[in-house]
Structure 1
Amino acid sequence: MLAIRLLILLLGLSLGLLAGQVLAQSLPSDLGLVNTLSLMLAGVLSSVLLMPRLERLVTGWTERLTRWYARLAPRTVAAATAGLIVALLLSVLLGNLLRGLPFSSWVLSVVVTLVLAVFFVGFAVRHADAFSMFATPQVRRKSGQKILDSNVIIDGRLLDLARAGFVEGQLVVPGFVLRELQLLADHTDSQKRTRGKRGLNVLEELRQVRPLQVDDWDDINIARVDDKLIRLARETGSKLLTNDTNLSKIAKLHGLEVMSIHEAAMALKPQVQAGDHLMVTITKGGQQQGQGVGYLEDGTMVVVEDGLKFRGKPARVLVVNNVQTNVGRMIFARVDQGSDAA
């Protein structure tokens, strides 16, 4: 704050000095020094008068610039710097070549430099991944931080886990995820609008249970939200808390730590062992002739041998095998000979 005030005072003083010199050249007078000093004092007093407004303006610009710079990926800064270096070197060479032309001037040199800078900086930023080796590694945040995606928020089970005390560490909601939920909540489609509003309500309730941190990090060069989540988790060393199976697989391929509520729920389901008896209603036929398919209350699929004849009826079945797949648990069974189903 003190530095900003000193800069504002220095600016007023400089403007007063400049005005005094211009006045002394246009209107020669023996009072030139007095006029210059008077204008410098007027500039300082004007700076003091406008200090609060100018201070807020400069502070706002500084904060926006700081936030913008903090969101930049290290590789993007390295790429832009390399592009600018190349542009400046080429502008010096071209300036020497253009110096012999009759229409050469400093204006032409500035224009050439600007054109080269725009071209090479833009080109380098679009290919920023090639400059990753020159980027300074970003400081990782404290361990235990978990980044939430929109699916796990809308799902809502995270709120119950937080209330039960099973969620530890800092929970982080990226700004682009909040914007995604807002777009869903304002969508014309009623189903998407319901999902968006549910996600925002879950966050509001979750904020009462666990402290939430909103991270304004973003990368305009990345279009997909899933790719942004992976990049943010990589750069911050955070865990990714999701309910999206495909996102979980991709994140693990990138070497990230992933916490999947879906996988946790599947792991906590009660195990059904071979030889157990179940009551299941056959709802449709299976892939093989005579097979029937039913579902338990938790959604687990039960494939019943020769169970199609009990379609639409509850049947007592004997568990033969229990298989865990990527999409869930699947139970194979056969109709119990003592079943009362007709």
Structure 2
Amino acid sequence: MLALRLLIMLLGLLLGLAAGRGLAAVQPDDLGIVNTLSLMLAGMLTALLLAPRIEQVFVRFSATFTRWYARLSPRAVAAATFGLIVALLVSVLLSSLLRTVPFYTWIWNLIVTVVLGVFFVSFALRNAESFGLLAFPQVRRKPGSRLLDSNVIIDGRIVELLRAGFLDGELVVPAFILRELQTLSDHHDAQKRTRGKRGLAVLEDLRALRPLRIEDWDDAALPTTDDKLIRLARESGARIVTNDNNLGKIARLHGVEILSIHEAAVALKPQVQAGDHLTVTISKGGQQKNQGVGYLEDGTMVVVEDAIRFRGKPTRVVVVNNVQTNVGRMIFAKLDGEEGAA
């Protein structure tokens, strides 16, 4: 914000110069120059003192303006522009008709223009949905945005990912995805209706954790939701969060990055499953009688039943269960048949 502070100081300097020139008109030349320089310095220092407060006001105003601009709908902009054009045309027509009236001056012309502008713009905004054909499918490019597909919303695991902090960036829900969920929630089929209501409930949970942005974008020329998602992602530079493998393959062919919760779940799946055979060295006893405890190379604890007699020896075991706890992964196992017989 150095540029803003310099601008504020320059304004203070100019105000001091203006005040000094005003006083110099009624003072001797030498005294007027000294007073002008003093007032310029005083104005610059005053501006320097007030700069932090002015910066805070500017930052708050900038944040408010940014939020307001982010909520602007292309239809609303098109409607307001159309209303203003009509107001200006009607104002020109009235001024041409009333120019011969004696009391009709430019002040009345300005008042009439303002009144017409307020009327036509407010009327157009109340009926903004009727101006969809005039609105270009405007897309706001914001690096790091995440476009949510309907299947990943209905899945619901995205809430836990967001709560755990594994999903960064701005979450964007396209308007056509929201309409798809609304259509499902009103469907006559009970199963589809349940899926739609679950999706809307998940969106409420997401909104409680982080602000959601509804992207009012659509392209009637594209037949499917997948095509619209890919086009929107390409134009906005966002990534698509989805569980649809086919959508992921097509999107990657178009150069769109995909975040698949299903692929992440597969990648995080434990490498050791029930029934697998392991060889561990029993290093100590467990909490239960005759239990032995060993560790894998990655530090995972392996609790083996009836294995304390093999303490200090490599022992072949069979995995019984794999438990994920808050502190890490824990494997429960039993002795392999040959080890138990020995």
TM-score normalised over the length of structure 1: 0.50
TM-score normalised over the length of structure 2: 0.50
